[in-house]
A and B are shown apart, each in its own frame.
Chain A
Amino acid sequence: MSQRKRASNTQSSQNKGSQRWEAVLGDDEDDPSFTQPSTSQVQKGLDRLTPAQVDLKTAEVVQFIFVKDQKKFPIRRADIVKHVVKEYRNIYPEIIKRVGCVFETVFGLKLVEIDSKNHVYILINKLEQGVTASLVFPSNPKTGLLFVILSIVFMKGGVVKESMVWNTLKKLRVDQGERHEIFGDVKKVVTDEFVRQRYLEYVRIPHTEPLEFEFRWGQRADMEVSKVKLLEFIGQVRHCRLPG
């Protein structure tokens, strides 16, 4: 795979001979026909366009990212280039730089490339969430479920066997074998949705028979979650009185 990437990177013209790579690699690879243009190429590209055109393209990318971010799945650079940037791809670095600025200065959000190999972005908030926000905008109950899992992993040193998580959730009336009233297919939510959103990592433990997995924090969790605040909440929960 690294050899293929090298081959496409050494091509001076972006489209030369790259069509065959697209056919070979399919959709789940970073679009190899997109090679990161050099600074001089970017400058040349910018010179040929009016500021208004560049601003418009920037705005389109911002809107695209907003809509794509709704489900909290990471956004691929390939998608941005294919669907929005299109023929402006020769100035992509400049556009993405401006897009980042817009997010920061206008919306107080941060566009982060969490995977520099596969070029995948997420949007996080630069600002802390206040106390009243949760009263005005009730959050998704799934956040509660996620919190429980993240807490367990965190307090157990960063890695936890999945059996421990399921056992704890069972005490909270959440069973991976049964359909939950609120969460539905819990196993899918935890091992698929949360993983795709990069909140959790669900990793196979090697040499286990039968197959076992462990949970770790995902890249999004690393960026979004304040460990201090998490600890505060866990402490608050500990103080809840039990009967007897």
Chain B
Amino acid sequence: MRRASRGGDESGTGAPRQNGVSGARGGARGAAADRGDTVAGGDDDEAGCSPADMQDEDNDPARRREIRSKYRDLINSVQQNREDMLSPTNNKLTDVLEEANKLFAEVRQAREAALDAQLLVLATDLGKEKASQLHAEGSAFDPAAFAEHLLSFMGLNRLEEEDEDVEGGASGGYLPQDAWQRVANRAQRCFRTAPSFHYMMGSFLAELPPPRQRVERQRKVPGKEAKRIMPTQLKRMEESHQEATEKEVERILGYLRSYFFDDPTSPISYYEFVIDPTSFSRSVENIFHTSFLVRDGLAKMYLDNHKLPCIAPVEEGEVEAGGASNRQQCVISISPKSWKELIEAFDITEPLIHAPSTQHTE
């Protein structure tokens, strides 16, 4: 308004801020002329109607600098004291604007006007923020108080002595490990999150072999310490296990045949045949090996007139391929006690099946 009254402005409109723009235009034309020439101060494009003394003032470089410096001060103070200006408790922003308005009255050149524009932009930003603050006042949400309450929710164990040590006025105390987990679990309910994809049971891993090996080793260890003699025996047996059985069976067949052909009419008592009065275990082995003969159809067992079991080799012609319909199974068991009874009953003094030449025991 003051600007228009001076009449120094070419466009001469009433509204002050519009003047600012057109003033810049006018000033620009003038500035373009004297850009390299501020000392000389030749601002001849200015409208010729302004009085001479005013023209001098307008062109005075010191004055120009002063105005620009004042603008810069205002801009700095706005930037530095931004928080202060935003506070709804004061009107500092309004003061700044009034100050700027006063300054603007003396703006002549583009440089000053540019600074004015910059200040205006800052001021409007602040104004916008202040306005948004006005809106928020009604809800009265205090984040600091919210934080305190949240700490309680998290299960903060407040210790009263610690209060003075803590910085920033925050609560002292011990926050439990699962504090954030607690908040997260409760907060998750507010979200409609899609569950994250993951495999249910993880990848398949075959882990069975190692445990088995371990168990086996463990079993072997006590065996080694307990009887040092036994392993060597067992090893021998295992090595030629198959062969030993076959050989033994054949050997026994040999005995059976030779006894039978010595006296074909006289039946061979089964128990006399298999029992070794000197060794129970060998008797059991004999029974075991003899059973193979019967299974393979090379020997037959029958009951004689006294209902006592007898054994006889089967002649070649008698052998029926693929099993006979009159074949029967029986199970023979023997215990040391019955073994002794048999020895007594049959009066067995020496084994009919001699022990094999290779000794098992040393």
Q: Write the residues of chain A forming the contact surface with B, with a CB cutoff of 8 angstroms.
A: 66-67, 69-70, 72, 107, 109, 123-131, 133-135, 137-148, 151-152, 155-157, 159, 164, 167-168, 170-173, 182, 206-207, 209, 223-226, 229-230, 233-234, 236-243
Q: Does B306 contact A (CB under 8 A)?
A: no
B184 touches A141 (CB 8 A): yes
Annotate B99-129 by CB proximity to A: 1 below 8 A, 0 otherwise: 0000000000000000000000110010000
Of A67, A140, A206, which one neighbours B197 at CB under 8 angstroms? Answer: A67
Would you give 5 A-B contacts (Cβ < 8 Å), ordered by A?
A70-B198, A126-B192, A144-B181, A156-B139, A167-B144
- Most chain A beta-carbon contacts within 10 A, residue among B79, B146, B160: B146
B189 touches A134 (CB 8 A): yes
Residue of B nearest to A111 (CB): B194
Q: Known: A69-B197, A140-B184. Contact between A238 and B146, CB under 8 A?
A: yes
Q: Does B147 contact A (CB under 8 A)?
A: yes
In angstroms, Cα B189 to Cα A165, docked, is 22
In angstroms, Cα B193 to Cα A223, docked, is 9
A66 touches B197 (CB 8 A): yes
Size of interface on B: residues with Cβ below 8 Å to A? 44
Of B148, B188, B194, B197, which one neighbours A242 at CB under 8 angstroms? Answer: B148
A124 touches B152 (CB 8 A): no
* Inter-chain contacts of A157 with B (CB < 8 A): 132, 135-136, 139
Residue of B nearest to A230 (CB): B190
A125 touches B192 (CB 8 A): yes
B125 touches A156 (CB 8 A): no
A168 touches B147 (CB 8 A): yes
In angstroms, Cα B153 to Cα A143, docked, is 15
Residue of B nearest to A148 (CB): B150
Q: Known: A70-B197, A171-B168, A209-B79. Contact between A147 and B192, CB under 8 A?
A: no
Taking A129-B192, A147-B183 as given, write out 13 further A-B residue pairs in contact, using a Cβ cutoff of 8 Å, ordered by the A residue number: A69-B196, A70-B198, A127-B192, A134-B188, A138-B181, A144-B182, A171-B147, A182-B180, A225-B190, A234-B146, A237-B150, A238-B149, A242-B149
Q: Please give the distance in Å from A177's CB to the nearest CB on chain B.
A: 13
Residue of B nearest to A241 (CB): B152
Of B121, B175, B183, B189, which one neighbours A144 at CB under 8 angstroms? Answer: B183
* Inter-chain contacts of A147 with B (CB < 8 A): 183-184, 187, 190
Of B168, B191, B196, which one neighbours A143 at CB under 8 angstroms? Answer: B191
In angstroms, Cα B136 to Cα A140, docked, is 32
In angstroms, Cα B190 to Cα A226, docked, is 6
B181 touches A141 (CB 8 A): yes
* Inter-chain contacts of A142 with B (CB < 8 A): 184
A224 touches B191 (CB 8 A): yes
Q: Please give the distance in Å from A230's CB to the nearest CB on chain B.
A: 5
Q: Please give the distance in Å from B80's CB to the nearest CB on chain A.
A: 10
* Inter-chain contacts of B356 with A (CB < 8 A): none
Q: Known: A138-B185, A207-B122. Contact between A124 and B193, CB under 8 A?
A: yes
Q: Known: A168-B144, A168-B147, A171-B147. Contact between A226 and B192, CB under 8 A?
A: yes
In angstroms, Cα B187 to Cα A225, docked, is 10
In angstroms, Cα B195 to Cα A229, docked, is 19
Q: Which residues of chain B from 177 to 217 have any CB-CB distance to chain A below 8 Å in the complex?
A: 180-198
